[in-house]
Chains A and B, each alone.
Chain A
Amino acid sequence: MADIAAKVLVVGGGPGGYVCAIRAGQLGLDVVLVEQGGLNGGLGGTCLNVGCIPSKAMIHAADAFHHAVRQAASAPFGLRVERPTIDLARTIEWKDGIVGRLTSGVGTLLKRHRVKIVHGHAGMLDGKTCRVETDTGPQVIRAEHVVLATGSEAAPLAALPFGGKVISSTEALSLHTVPERLAVIGAGYIGLELGTAFAKLGAKVTVIEAADRILPVYDAELARPVARRLQALRVDVLTRAKAVGLADEGGAVQVDQEGAPKCTVAADRILVATGRRARLAGFGLERLDLTMNGPFVHVDERCATSMRNVWAVGDLTGEPMLAHRAMAQGVVVAEVIAGHRRVFDGAVIPAVCFTDPEVVTVGLSPDEARRAGREVHVGTFPFQANGRALTLGAEEGFVRVTARADNHLVLGVAAVGAGVSELAGAFALALEMGATLEDIGGTIHAHPTLGEAFHEAALRGLGEALHV
């Protein structure tokens, strides 16, 4: 096959890679994108294929089923359902349909911006040349600029290697039956999102977490409503506990818990969700000899690596491993290559846990702000006092605004509650625009909406809350 020459080569078609390719195409650059496909995703990467989108589909289905079950039992607002059932295979089919629509949409967008897509496994030969193993043979691509966007993968646990009953989130999103007993290793957002969904689908779920509480990277105040909900769903949470191996010929997890005798947790499936790691191997990264930042590729504020005209975006470049960060980096790199002056300079990267209730964090927590030497005003408004939350039967949770005491600049916003993920945009906008408490307090928020809690939390920070 004849070599391909391009201005820009993007390695990886996930959110960082495909967005970079689209933007570069919009800017009139000649772009080639390599995507290997396979179990861990095709176009759209982990996010569209085995991450954000399919997990949200599953969470939604599980939630709907759980509501139906509750209505069958107690009909809280008069709606009664007789013996609801769920056909998980159909659910998976529905989920795959959504994924299919989105991934083909990405393909269409790339084509519209004249991005050439090469399917196959990429191997970098040097900083300008890549050899792709395609179905029809090797293809060499030479490019002025290379954007590495290879993403991340579920990190295996040495004591519980993947295989058999031990699965990662990828497999968990394609199970055709609900396991009777599910052990989840790791109470971070992935473990809890999936663990909660399976509990709602009827599995007996046990969560095993090494730290002393769930969601250890979030502050305790935010984790508390989630912990209460897990308890209500009869999810067993073992904290200060480590999964040390399999027991009973693979039918159980051996658990070491601090201050407790050794025990085993019987499980039909064991979901290891202890974290993700940058995908560094298998594509010739070693031949580029880039400066590393621990287990990640080091990049500067323009997402440039240590090698000229080699760029990196997304999970490969470190935490937080979030699709929206990768997309924003992808845009920056495309514009920099097109000759614009750009840096990745977002004030905040919002983070959302689609647990029950959902958790949103944007910017600093009160403790983080204090550790940074700030005196802060903290305004918290509970959904118990929000009319819309009550009509949704979702009064658990709150919105919390953290601001500088001296000039009321908002430093962080966090929320826990049903549907609060949709508030993330408002929170992030406030921080990006440099809003003060008075700006949020002076913005008329629509009634009746959950967003009013944001307004009231800001007012409370000013000592002027009206509805609490």
Chain B
Amino acid sequence: MGIRIVKLPDVGEGVAEAELVEWHVAIGQSVLEDQLLAAVMTDKATVEIPSPVAGTVLALGAEVGGVLAVGAELVRLEVAGEGDKEVAAAPREAARPEPAPSAAAMPSPAPAKSPALERAHVPEPPRPTTQGSLGPPRAPGEKPIASPAVRRRARDAGVDLRQVRGSGPAGRIGHEDLDAFLRGGAPAATISARVPKTDVDTVKVIGLRRRIAQKMADSKRRAAHFAYVEEVDVTALEDLRTALNAESRQDRPRLTLMPFLMQALVRAVADFPEMNALYDDEAETIERHGGVHIGIATQTPSGLMVPVVRHCETRGLWDMAAEVRRLAEAAREGRATRAELTGSTITITSLGPLGGIVTTPVINRPEVAIVGVNKEAVRPVWQGSQFVPRTMMNLSSSFDHRVIDGYVAARFIQRIKGLVEAPATLFIEE
């Protein structure tokens, strides 16, 4: 038997460290070659690390939430045969030129575990200790489990314990469950609504949530945010969109408002190159980018992600629509690669029908501008002699006032407004 050290492979271009977000194995467990050992999170992508060999786990290199440098010991395995020779070959993944995890390399996204692994390492479920989280209801005919003291109190109080749900291990009914039932004086199903909840659930801020927290705080601390809100008449744009969608061609995705806005952004930044830029405040330089790489803020089960539609200046309307949809799905399913989640030069954030009237978006630093989309609504609009119903929508945008003046920002938004309100101008090549 030999010892084989599995090191954290290079999980992406320029990534020096990664945060351990999940262990798929436990000490003492035997693993097969290619069995997933752990999930680590780099800048924004989660990467599953498979085992290079079969063996038995002797030690784990970090706790969940810990940060490991690339090349640091991830797992120590006991393997058949010579261990030492293998150690040299261990970080073979690091040798790959482009090891950035692709969808194919990650058959299992971080939140899902294979059933085999689930069985091999069953973590103790959190034990509910208060009324706040009741155990599952008993199967019909199953006897309630309670200590003699609880049974006696229940009997004295005239309570049939079969109606009381237990919060203890194996559904055991404790004094506190009986107290709660007696306070509620009602069937167990409704009692939780009346019981003061004293439980505090401490959730470790790890993984994506930690990244988001760091990035948001960093952006708010460093960028001098100012917000600018303007209303836009999208009646004509909605007419156009409806007409285009009515064609319903198989090869084209349905259009949302997003690709039109992206198109407007592409046209507007051509006139305002300072908006499509990255501000390195330490080097005190601004990189104005020729390519328009638009970040699309996307809600995923694990939190906010910003997949990037690259080179929008080269894309048509349907192309952008298809790419937005593809990236959003990949992000939601945890398949988005690091490349797909980085490199944006300007960002759009939209909550769709939940968009509210006004938002104050946080700039996706080191970018300098973010355009927020609020909800559409048909409103009466005064047109000289009368009110007419128009489909109106607000754009709430934030800019880094350190490098963008209010006057420039206002003109930029007015340019977008003009493009959107006369949608034909979006597509006129000058």
- Where the two chains meet, the residues of A that have a C-beta atom closer than 8 Å to any C-beta of B are 340-343, 345-346, 404, 407-409, 432-434, 436, 438-439
Whether A436 and B155, one on each chain, are in contact in the complex, defined by CB atoms closer than 8 angstroms, is no
Q: Looking across the interface, which residue of chain A has its beta carbon closest to that of B124?
A: A438
What class of interface size applies to chain B in its complex with A? 10 to 19
**Top 3 A-B residue pairs of the complex, sorted by shortest distance between their CB atoms:** A434-B145, A409-B170, A407-B170
User: Is B225 in the interface zone, CB < 8 Å from A?
Assistant: no
Whether A433 and B170, one on each chain, are in contact in the complex, defined by CB atoms closer than 8 angstroms, is no
Whether A340 and B145, one on each chain, are in contact in the complex, defined by CB atoms closer than 8 angstroms, is no
Whether A434 and B172, one on each chain, are in contact in the complex, defined by CB atoms closer than 8 angstroms, is yes
Contacts of B169 in A (CB 8 A): 407-409, 436, 438-439
10 A–B pairs (Cβ distance < 8 Å), ordered by A: A340-B155, A341-B156, A342-B152, A407-B171, A409-B145, A409-B169, A432-B148, A434-B147, A434-B168, A434-B170
Closest-CB distance, A127 to chain B (whole angstroms): 26
User: Is B365 in the interface zone, CB < 8 Å from A?
Assistant: no
Interface residues of B in 104-162 (CB under 8 A from A): 145-148, 151-152, 155-156, 158
Whether B170 and A408, one on each chain, are in contact in the complex, defined by CB atoms closer than 8 angstroms, is yes
Q: Looking across the interface, which residue of chain B has its beta carbon closest to that of A343?
A: B155
Contacts of B170 in A (CB 8 A): 404, 407-409, 434, 436
**A interface secondary structure, majority:** loop
Rounded to whole angstroms, the CA-CA distance of A382 and B168 in the bound complex is 31
A341, A346, A434, A438: the one contacting B155 at CB < 8 Å is A341
Whether A342 and B168, one on each chain, are in contact in the complex, defined by CB atoms closer than 8 angstroms, is no
Q: Looking across the interface, which residue of chain A has its beta carbon closest to that of B151?
A: A345
Rounded to whole angstroms, the CA-CA distance of A408 and B148 in the bound complex is 20
Contacts of A439 in B (CB 8 A): 169
Rounded to whole angstroms, the CA-CA distance of A196 and B262 in the bound complex is 94
Closest-CB distance, B251 to chain A (whole angstroms): 52
B147, B155, B156, B171: the one contacting A433 at CB < 8 Å is B147
Whether B171 and A340, one on each chain, are in contact in the complex, defined by CB atoms closer than 8 angstroms, is no
Rounded to whole angstroms, the CA-CA distance of A275 and B158 in the bound complex is 40
Contacts of A342 in B (CB 8 A): 152, 155
Whether B145 and A341, one on each chain, are in contact in the complex, defined by CB atoms closer than 8 angstroms, is no
Contacts of A409 in B (CB 8 A): 145, 169-170, 172
Q: Looking across the interface, which residue of chain A has its beta carbon closest to that of B144?
A: A434
Whether A340 and B156, one on each chain, are in contact in the complex, defined by CB atoms closer than 8 angstroms, is yes
Rounded to whole angstroms, the CA-CA distance of A341 and B145 in the bound complex is 19
Rounded to whole angstroms, the CA-CA distance of A407 and B152 in the bound complex is 25
Contacts of B172 in A (CB 8 A): 409, 434
Contacts of A340 in B (CB 8 A): 155-156
A341, A408, A432: the one contacting B147 at CB < 8 Å is A432
Contacts of B152 in A (CB 8 A): 342
Rounded to whole angstroms, the CA-CA distance of A401 and B145 in the bound complex is 18
Closest-CB distance, A379 to chain B (whole angstroms): 16
Closest-CB distance, B178 to chain A (whole angstroms): 13
Contacts of B147 in A (CB 8 A): 432-434
Closest-CB distance, A219 to chain B (whole angstroms): 23
Contacts of A433 in B (CB 8 A): 147-148
